[in-house]
Amino acid sequence: MNRLGSRRQLATNLTADRENSGSPLWALLFPLLVFVATYIAFAPAIRGDFLQWDDDVLLLNNPDYRGFGADQIRWMFSTTMLGNFMPFTWLSYAVDYALVGMRPVGYHITNNLLHAFDAALVFGLARLLIRIAQPTARPPSLIAGAFVAAMLFGIHPLRVESVAWITERKDVLSAFFLISSVYTYVRFARTAGATWYAASLLLLALSLLSKAWGLTLPAVLLVLDWCPLARWTRDKSRKLILEKLPFAAVSGAMACITLWAQTREVASLSGANIPDRIAQSLYGLVFYVGKTLIPIGLSPIYEHPIPMNPFAAPFVAATAGVLVLAAGLWFVRRTGAGKAALAAFAVYAIVLLPVLGLVQVGPQLVADRYSYVACIPLAILAGGAITRAAERLTRRTFAILSGVVIAGLTLLAAMTWRQCGYWRNSWVLWQRALEVDPQSWTAHNGIGALYMQFDDFERATQHLRQAADRRPDHPGIAINLAGAYAKTRRTDQSAAMFRKAASMPGLTSADLLLIGNGLEVLGLRDEARDAYSRAIEQNADEAEAHYRLATLLFASGDRKSAKQHFIKAVELLEPSVRRGQHDGGIFVDAAIFGSACDALARQLDAEGDARTANEYREKRKLLQAR
């Protein structure tokens, strides 16, 4: 009897799917319209440059992803640069490099295309979920709801950071696989097809290999089992939980890798306690909903206040807002619309959980990019409301509502077009950040660094001083300000700032290398040597630190120790030179490699070891490769 009942239910589900599927032409036309509209809304992003904000570290100064050889593939599947394990994202960058080299337009086009595909996928997912939640809705109503959901996701200004910033390729690529994973899971839940289940699990793995957005997917799927799939009952709960174990295993493995990568590569904010973290998390839950409803004042950086007061008005108001919303959703949970709203907001909160600040990494309190996946359920909820309205309102009233919705979507597209312009280059980006928050230390530091690049050291000093006033404990700002002081011949102030930076906690080997370089330029060689030695203690593979220390040791007469560090520098740099980082006029590492080879050849000649000296001269010829 149970078997017969399950067969009837399955047949009912399949029949309902077929009856509500609508014309195949319309099913293709509307996602295509979503794709085109989304791509056009983000068209200004295509003209953007690489930014001096992670783009330079990840792409401009990094040759390791440029190619598909064994060394490049091995690097992509092992690196945790900037706290992310994302081999599939690196592969996508490698494809861009193969097609367009280092022209940013190609990388931007890929980001735009991926986001447009994501929006089209949201159309398909929304249409499927709304059809399940409202099985009696007519095909035109379903298409209207899915179209609105996809457009709300696709053309919203909150998506700009993830699309216009090349570094955030991981957002749009990971979401592509993640949305597909949810779609195939829903199809599995409706048909019990093992192929759909396997596809969903595989797509989750691919998503996690692009970015760790899918860590919470097992919990999200359980919510979907409850609503709209209506699979969750007391009798089936154990089965449904066991069904998610493979998803949880994949997600759990990636969670361990992600936590290790972020704590290893990115400095955490110190001094935050449990009340601070809770207040930040509740603020984030309200922030993204608020910016979805009123997307004004968007900025590339919303800095974590230091010190943080969890009882300040914004955090208290956010806490109250979360409590009121939670109470309201719980109160209406037994109605059809209320149950859908509760499910949508539950998925929203679950997806946001890893980035709400309970584990704080980086200086941001919140970030626009964190809304990329989390706001999809809210968009689908809005689409469901449109479908319901289309079924219940009179034709005239619905026509008026349609006009309002179209006007709203047009306004959102215009705001997105404008927001993309703020990301066209580093100057405009940091100026925008200062418009939103004139006290932003991140923006002042960024503009100061740009002025340094263009040799306007006085203006650089002005901005860097403002940054240092806000963050006197930040090593990067102190190092930049010390360099600006040196360029403006304030040598005493420069030396004092370098020394202050050297005493700060949480220094990386790269920080110590910069401090050593600065001290060496000021003629403080003993202190520079100490900084280089500390850099090597932290990271034995810091090739430039080996080279710089070797030159100081050689100058002081310790040629034996200098020789060992020169050899180590050559050993560390040779693989990257062989991979293509051979132009000493472009790559600092290549220039250091050549200088280290020359120094070793001369020293070995002086020691009478002509054979080994010639070996290093042969290595030196690698720089002539093209």
Query: For residue range 140-163, what is the model confidence (pLDDT) as tens digits?
Result: 999 999 999 999 999 999 999 999
End position of a domain, from candidates 420, 449, 473: 420
Query: Does residue 594 lie within any of the structural domains?
Result: yes
Query: Does residue 535 lie within any of the structural domains?
Result: no
pLDDT at 12 over 60: no
| Strand, coil or helix: 616 | helix
Lowest-confidence range among 102-106, 180-184, 558-562? 558-562
Gap between the Cα atoms of 287 and 176, Å rounded: 24
Give CA separation, 154 vs 54, 104, 116, 351, 513, in Å. 25, 22, 7, 18, 43
Q: Give start and end residues of each alpha helix (H) in 438-587.
A: 441-453, 457-470, 475-487, 491-502, 509-521, 525-538, 543-555, 559-579
Is the whole-model pTM more than 0.95?
A: no
3-state SS, one letter per residue, for 549-574 = HHHHHHHCCCHHHHHHHHHHHHHHHH
Whole-number pLDDT of residue 590: 83
What DSSP string describes 588-602? Answer: HHHHHHHHHHHHHHH
Q: Strand pairing partners for 141? A: none
pLDDT at 236 over 60: yes
Query: Does residue 409 lie within any of the structural domains?
Result: yes
Place of tokens 């919203």: 156
Lowest-confidence range among 201-215, 320-334, 460-474, 565-579? 565-579
- Reading the block at residue 377, the tokens are 């359920």
What is the percentage of the chain residues whose pLDDT exceeds 90? 75
Place of tokens 């100058």: 555
pLDDT at 269 over 60: no
Tell me what the mean pLDDT of segment 478-485 comes to.
Answer: 96
Report how many domains make up the chain: 2
Gap between the Cα atoms of 368 and 232, Å rounded: 33
Tell me what the mean pLDDT of segment 5-10 comes to.
Answer: 47
Whole-number pLDDT of residue 268: 47
Q: Is 54 exposed, middle or buried (0-12, 13-18, 19+ CB in 10 A)?
A: middle
Whole-number pLDDT of residue 26: 67
Q: Is 179 exposed, middle or buried (0-12, 13-18, 19+ CB in 10 A)?
A: buried
Query: Does residue 84 lie within any of the structural domains?
Result: yes
Give the confidence band of 1 by pLDDT, cuts at 50, 70, 90: very low
Residues 60 and 203 in one domain: yes
The alpha carbon of 440 is separated from its chain's Cα centroid by a whole number of angstroms, namely 21
Query: Does residue 301 lie within any of the structural domains?
Result: no
Query: Does residue 210 lie within any of the structural domains?
Result: yes
Tell me which residue range forms the domain holding 14.
Answer: 2-268+381-420
The distance between the two most distant Cα atoms of the chain, rounded to a whole number of Å, is: 97
Q: What's the half-sphere exposure (Cβ side, CA atoms, 13 Å) at 9? A: 13
Peptide bond into 300 cis (omega under 30): no
Query: Does residue 52 lie within any of the structural domains?
Result: yes
Label residues 477-488 b or e (16+ Cβ within 10 Å = b): bbbbbbbbbbbe
pLDDT at 485 over 90: yes
Q: How many CB atoms lie within 10 A of CB 340?
A: 23
Whole-number pLDDT of residue 23: 58
- Among residues 239, 238, 117, the alpha carbon closest in space to that of 178 is found at 117
Instruction: Name the strand (E) or helix (H) holding 302.
Output: strand 302-303
Q: What's the Rg (C-alpha) of the chain?
A: 28
Q: How many CB atoms lie within 10 A of CB 472?
A: 12
Give the confidence band of 512 by pLDDT, cuts at 50, 70, 90: very high
Tell me what the mean pLDDT of segment 12-40 comes to.
Answer: 72
Give CA separation, 617 vs 338, 588, 589, 613, in Å. 75, 19, 17, 6
The alpha carbon of 393 is separated from its chain's Cα centroid by a whole number of angstroms, namely 42
The backbone torsions φ and ψ at residue 538, rounded to the nearest 5 degrees and listed phi first, read -75, -40
Looking up residue 617, the CATH number of its domain turns out to be: 1.25.40
Query: Dihedral of CA 359/364/366/371: which sign?
Result: negative
Taking the alpha carbons at both ends of the chain, their separation in whole angstroms is 74
The answer to whether the beta carbons of residues 531 and 552 sit under 8 Å apart is: no
Tell me what the mean pLDDT of segment 277-295 comes to.
Answer: 95
Query: Does residue 324 lie within any of the structural domains?
Result: no
End position of a domain, from candidates 420, 438, 471: 420
The answer to whether the beta carbons of residues 482 and 497 sit under 8 Å apart is: yes
Residues in Cβ contact with 223 at an 8 Å cutoff, skipping those fewer than 6 apart: 343, 346, 347, 350
Q: How many CB atoms lie within 10 A of CB 327?
A: 9
The backbone torsions φ and ψ at residue 83, rounded to the nearest 5 degrees and listed phi first, read 80, 20
Residues 107 and 236 in one domain: yes
pLDDT 10s digits, 92-133? 999 999 999 999 999 999 999 999 999 999 999 999 999 999
pLDDT at 196 over 70: yes
Q: What is the mean pLDDT of the chain?
A: 90
pLDDT 10s digits, 320-357? 999 999 999 999 888 888 999 999 999 999 999 999 87
